[in-house]
A and B are shown apart, each in its own frame.
Chain A
Amino acid sequence: QKEVEQDPGPLSVPEGAIVSLNCTYSNSAFQYFMWYRQYSRKGPELLMYTYSSGNKEDGRFTAQVDKSSKYISLFIRDSQPSDSATYLCAMSLSNTGKLIFGQGTTLQVKP
């Protein structure tokens, strides 16, 4: 069993839809949770960074962490074709450079 599980998709939605991306994890000691966006042939770009449980909102993006269920989510409102990318969840035990990534979910937003 992988430490972090993420449905690889692909996920295809129409423009304007609400997108829900999810990851589950097995290690209850994870404290820091991140979502990265990766366009084709590019490096991952940090979208959201959360410590411990709770919600965090930034524009059209909302990140949720439920440590009791070992489940994290990223919601994208009013999705745009420019949101088409691979979304990677990542987490770490402590505030270091060692992250455990999910496999990534490929999202396509159709005009």
Chain B
Amino acid sequence: ETGVTQSPTHLIKTRGQQVTLRCSSQSGHNTVSWYQQALGQGPQFIFQYYREEENGRGNFPPRFSGLQFPNYSSELNVNALELDDSALYLCASRNDRNTGELFFGEGSRLTVL
């Protein structure tokens, strides 16, 4: 049990639509990261938020955006969905005062038709 919960667990969208995925972290975990995991691949870093500000981004276009809230919850928004966006989206959090282990949620599986 990592204390990181994500919703929804599964969802289906069509090309061109927009999606919002949600994550709730442990109390005290000030850093949240989002990852995309395609089938058969390792997770790829999308971006990271620290104290409600984005402070690191991977090689993803601007249609991937996020928010972090003071209550340790966060969102990943994806606009203009493409077929290749079909993947497992993982949220991970850490407490920057400890050794830095990253704890993942179970993920939201997005299918784009």
Contacts and interface: CB of A to CB of B under 8 A. Distances in A.
A associates with B = yes
Interface of A: 4, 6, 8, 32, 34, 36, 41-46, 49, 51, 88, 90, 95-104
Contacts of B92: 97
A102 B42 contact: yes
Contact of B58 (A42, A44, A98, A102): A98
Interface residues of B, number: 29
B104 A44 contact: yes
Contact of A45 (B31, B58, B99, B104): B104
B100 A8 contact: no
Contacts, number: 69
Interface of B: 2, 4, 31-33, 40-45, 48, 56, 58, 90, 92-94, 96, 99-107, 109
A90 B43 CA distance: 9
A43 B94 contact: no
B20 to A, nearest CB: 19
Nearest to B47: A98
